[in-house]
Amino acid sequence: MEIIRSDVAIIGAGGAGLRAAIALAEADPSLKISLISKVYPMRSHTCAAEGGAAGVIKPDDSLEHHFNDTVGGGDWLCDQDAVDYLVREAPKELLQLEHWGCPWSREPDGSVAVRPFGGMQKQRTWFAADKSGFHILHTLFQTSLKFPSIERYDEYYATDLIVDDGRCQGFTAIEIRSGQMRRFEARAVIIAGGGAGRMFPFTTNGAIKTGDGMALAYRAGVALKDMEFVQYHPTGLPNTGTLLTEACRGEGGILLNRNGRRFLQDYGMGPETPVGKPQLKTMELGPRDRVSQAFWHEQKKGNMLPTKYGDCMLLDLRHLGEKKIDERLPLVRDMSISYLGVDPVKDPVPVRPVVHYMMGGIDTDIEAATSLPGLYAAGECACVSINGANRLGSNSLTELLVFGRRAALSAIEFINSGKPSVNEVALSAQAAAAQARIRGLFEKADGGESLAGLRREMMRTMEENAGIYREEEGLKAACATLSQLRWRYLDVGLTDRTNVYNTDLMQALELGSMLDCAEAVTVSALARTESRGAHQRLDFVERDDGKFLRHSLAYFRSHEPPRVDYRDVVITKSQPGVRDYSGDHK
Amino acid sequence: MSERVIELEVLRYNPETETEPHFQRYLVTCEEEWVVLDALNHVKETIDPTLNYRWSCHMAVCGSCGMMINGEPKLACKSFLRNYQGVIRVEPLAHFPIERDLVTVIDDFMTKFKRVKPYLIPKDEKPVCEGEYRQTPAELKKFKQYTLCINCMLCYAACPEYGLTPKFIGPAAISMAHRYNLDSRDGGRKERQQEIASGEGVWECSFAGACSEVCPEHVDPASALQQVKIASTVDWYTEHLMPWVKK
């Protein structure tokens, strides 16, 4: 098997992976960096983020405000030392992107413009129209081309971490073009593999968001933290799940029920604010968990608009006018017209909540280090715990920059701390075992299980039982189903047994990742008998700080459901309080 | 939801087992509002798991699913079935080698893209702690449309010159170089001109304009190429007729 040796190898070339690679190359040009991804960097899902990235820049704002919004928005499940680091580093990172050419939208005087976002008490979201993630990704990718020490391996799929002598020393990956296995040997590994939204049927996430990075670390013994917290974005197109950014509401869009009422005022986010004059941190600028939950209640009351794609609320942008919509929300207009046939300039757009983001992920400390020496993680696949129980919109693009860089710096510190000997025989043996596992998929007789069938069953059980509101009975059923699906997965054989660009194989491996992640979600959700942020239990409606001001940690077990443990939240200055999004709060 | 049965004629090629590509037909029961990508996904999921193609975002921003649909370069995620009658023929993007089925080899583009230095080369270097470079909305507007390229490569598949002269750097890469040249923060034009104003650069372009016609993001690469031609002509005259003028 071909061996590719580097100082640091990065899995995933989206925002976090690219930011890490650049930080490594800048810090020490002599470092050999391998950047691998199952897709070309420009295809990474960072490109689909629309609204923007939060960072304090305007004189009326402060780091304190950004900290408080984030911690309260996360229902006090954020680690406050991590949030401190995030808000402090955020402006520097966003300015750095500006220096690399990111086309941020501007004020008339040439300074960077910011827009309001949900749950934020000040305007601090930097944006590039409504393609902010796209521009961040492309700016990073294009900037990365300056650095000769970044060696890219596009369309390589990582299958197994290699762990020896108590540290991560690389991984095996399939070169998709040839189907051949390669062994990447590295003194430190950074996982930046993105989220896992595709375990649900209705999601804003692209096809590639299958939790592969999370599963890699999880199977190697690193905990998945706070996996029960799955974010529903309130405004997706009802048929395709295409995201209509929160910036729609930041710019002044309103949400209506079928009777034309701005129903958020009935769910603790009132009183009503004047149309077209959005007020920060209330009504349509409430946090995503609260808005999605309000939708659910209105739906139960029969106040939502029935459509052939299910019940919808209406996102009304008409009062913004064509000029502003075209300038600030061009993608939203294009998507609504193309996929739904509704022009937001002329008509309100039917929308419904859609799975968007995993707050949970690979357990890391605030230096982006996992419990496994030599292994780091950043971006959506990681859980540093800046998002807590509910992420505020525009914190994730910031997070992948801040912690992508942080992971790189930590990896450098680690490799500079000494050069332990490498047991090549042991590493080769592990790589051979990984290869045998993959070959096994090719050689296995058809066990009668269909890949697409198992995937559908997984998605169905997640949607039915692990959605916006959950309860014991459903979660127990979901855990049982996923446990069975993991067994049945062992009987999945490939239809395509050839080597070149075999997406049947890729999808089989991706399903394995998703099943492991999905089980971590439902088992953690069943164990958390309280309601907090995006995890709402109909049978335990209150937040329970006495028992659950703690992170859940799911540990992988190959033939059983994960073991769940807990760790206290880090609180430095903000004691748990009431999340107040009423316009009267001050 | 109204359904419709469509016939897809898809180019198949597996270099491991076949010497020649061939077409395979699939009858697919589709929702009226589907795009071609939905139909392909339906084939993959329910009829033939061995069919291969790239896709991810389903919202025309990741640039993965470029393919020829009835002979035209299109994003499969934005090609609505309602716009097609009869058999729909789906092939890999023209002018690129086929890796397998609808998957093309895009190494050539990736190499050329890097060659044009598609990154900011600052005019005046300043540390991040000194804040942002000021750039007015008008200055931003000068290059904004060229930043919208999603690298889907439809323009390469449409470009008659790229088909004839594969060494041509091509529309997307030249447009991106032009984007940085026009950026008020940038001072790297001279370095980029060596690549894009060369024989393999803009002078290969015969201004067919096909690139702009197929661009799903309205980047209008043809306008970038013409502007580069004009600018490099001015450069030539400045150099030869007014050698005393410092560029």
Among candidates A43, A109, A495 on the partner chain, residue whose Cβ is nearest the Cβ of B62: A43
**DSSP assignment of A500-511, as one string?**
TT-HHHHHHHHH
In a shared domain, residues A409 and A502:
no
Chain B positions touching A242 (Cβ under 8 A) are 58-59
CATH classification of the domain holding A458: 1.20.58.100
Cβ within 8 Å, pair B119-A496: no
Give residue B245's pLDDT.
Answer: 67
Structural domain range at position A513: 430-549
Does the pLDDT at position A222 exceed 50? yes
Token output for A569: 């939240």
On whether both A263 and A343 belong to a single domain, the answer is yes
In this model, does residue A585 exceed pLDDT 70? Answer: no
Residue A575 within a domain: no
Among A216-220, A316-320, B207-211, name the one with the lowest average pLDDT.
B207-211
ipTM, two decimals, is: 0.97
A65 catalytic, yes or no?
no
Look at residue A23 and tell me if it is in a domain.
yes
Q: What is the pLDDT of residues A365-400, one digit of tens each?
A: 999 999 999 999 999 999 999 999 999 999 999 999
Q: Residue B96, Cα to own-chain centre: how many angstroms?
A: 12
Contact yes or no for B148 and A131 at CB 8 A: yes
Question: Which of A19, A107, A127, A145 to substitute to test the interface with B, most B CBs within 10 Å?
Answer: A145
Average pLDDT, chain A: 97
Say whether both A147 and A186 belong to one domain.
yes
Span A114-128, average pLDDT: 96
Which residue among A339, A354, A369 closes a domain?
A354
A557 is a domain residue = no
For A43, which of B33, B56, B78 is closest by C-beta distance? B56
Residue A38, token pair as written in the block: 């199952």
Q: Are A281 and A348 contained in the same domain?
A: yes
Q: How many helices and strands, by DSSP H and E, does chain A display? A: 15, 22
Compare all CA atoms of chain A with the CA of B42 and give the residue at the minimum distance.
A452
Mutate to test the interface with A, among B128, B129, B154 (most CBs of A within 10 A): B128
Domains of chain B in start order, with CATH, are: 3-104 (3.10.20.30), 107-241 (1.10.1060.10)
Among B residues 221-240, those touching chain A with beta carbons less than 8 Å apart: none
**Neighbouring residues of A369: CB distance < 8 A, sequence distance ≥ 6:** A375, A376, A410, A414
| Contact flag B52-A145 (C-beta cutoff 8 Å) | no
Tokens 């900011």 correspond to what residue?
Answer: B120
Residues A141, A169, single domain; the answer is yes
DSSP string, A454-491: HHHHHHHHHHHHSSSEE-HHHHHHHHHHHHHHHHHHTT
Q: Which chain A residues are Cβ-neighbours of B148 within 8 angstroms?
A: 131
Chain B contacts of A40, Cβ < 8 Å?
Answer: 106, 110, 151
Q: Residue A339 belongs to a domain with what CATH number?
A: 3.90.700.10
Both A301 and A370 in a single domain? no
**Final residue in a domain of this structure, among A303, A338, A354:** A354
**Residues of B (67-96) whose Cβ lies below 8 Å from A:** 78, 80
Domain count, chain A: 3
A338 to B101: CB separation less than 8 angstroms, yes or no: no
Whether residue B247 is predicted with pLDDT greater than 50 in this model: the reply is no
Same domain, A189 and A312: no
Say if A388 falls within a structural domain.
Answer: yes
B131-158: average pLDDT? 97
Proportion of chain A above pLDDT 90, given as a percent: 97
Whether B56 and A134 lie within 8 Å, measured CB to CB: no
Q: What are phi and psi of B227, to 5 degrees?
A: -65, -35
- Name the residue among A95, A334, A452 with its Cβ closest to that of B131: A95
Contacts of B186 in chain A (CB under 8 A): 101
C-alpha–C-alpha distance, residues A488 and A486, integer Å: 5
* B26 has a chain A CB within 8 A of its CB: no
Residues A17 and A46 in one domain: yes
Q: Within this chain, do residues A37 and A135 fall inside the same structural domain, yes or no?
A: yes
**Residues B76 and B39: beta-carbon distance below 8 Å:** no
Residue bearing the bigger pLDDT, B220 or B237: B220
Distance from CA of B115 to the nearest CA of A (A): 9
Side chain identity at residue A230, one-letter code: V
> What pLDDT sits at residue B40?
98
Q: What is the interface size between A and B, counted as CB pairs within 8 Å?
A: 148
Q: Would A564 be classed as within a structural domain?
A: no
> Which of A191-205, A326-340, A444-458 shows the lowest per-residue confidence on average (mean pLDDT)?
A444-458
Phi (first) and psi of residue A416, to 5 degrees: -80, -10
**Confidence band, pLDDT 50/70/90 cuts, at residue B175:** very high
Q: At what angle do helices A503-527 and A212-219 cross, to 10 degrees?
A: 70
Residue of A43, A115, A138, A233 marked active site: A233
- Nearest chain A residue to B34 by CA distance is A339
Neighbour-count burial of A221, counting CB atoms closer than 10 A to its CB (0-12 exposed, 13-18 middle, 19+ buried): middle
Is A576 within a domain?
no
In the numeric block, which tokens belong to residue A211?
């939790």
How distant is the Cα of B228 from the closest Cα of chain A, in angstroms? Answer: 20
Indicate if A66 belongs to the active site.
Answer: no
CATH number at residue A96: 3.50.50.60
pTM exceeds 0.95 for this model: yes
Give domain status of residue A9, yes or no: yes
Q: Is the model's pLDDT at A52 over the cut of 50? A: yes
Q: Which pLDDT belongs to residue B213?
A: 97
CA distance A472 to B148: 47
Q: Which residue has the higher pLDDT, A96 or B240?
A: A96
Q: How far is CA A309 from CA A29, A198, A240, A298, in A?
A: 53, 19, 9, 17
Which pLDDT belongs to residue B2? 80
Residues A349 and A366 in one domain: no
B44 close contact with A: CB closer than 8 A: yes
Residues A288 and A243 in one domain: yes
Q: Are B70 and B8 in contact (CB under 8 A)?
A: no
Residue A425 in any domain: the answer is no
Q: Provide the pLDDT for residue B19.
A: 96
Are residues A523 and A434 part of one domain? yes
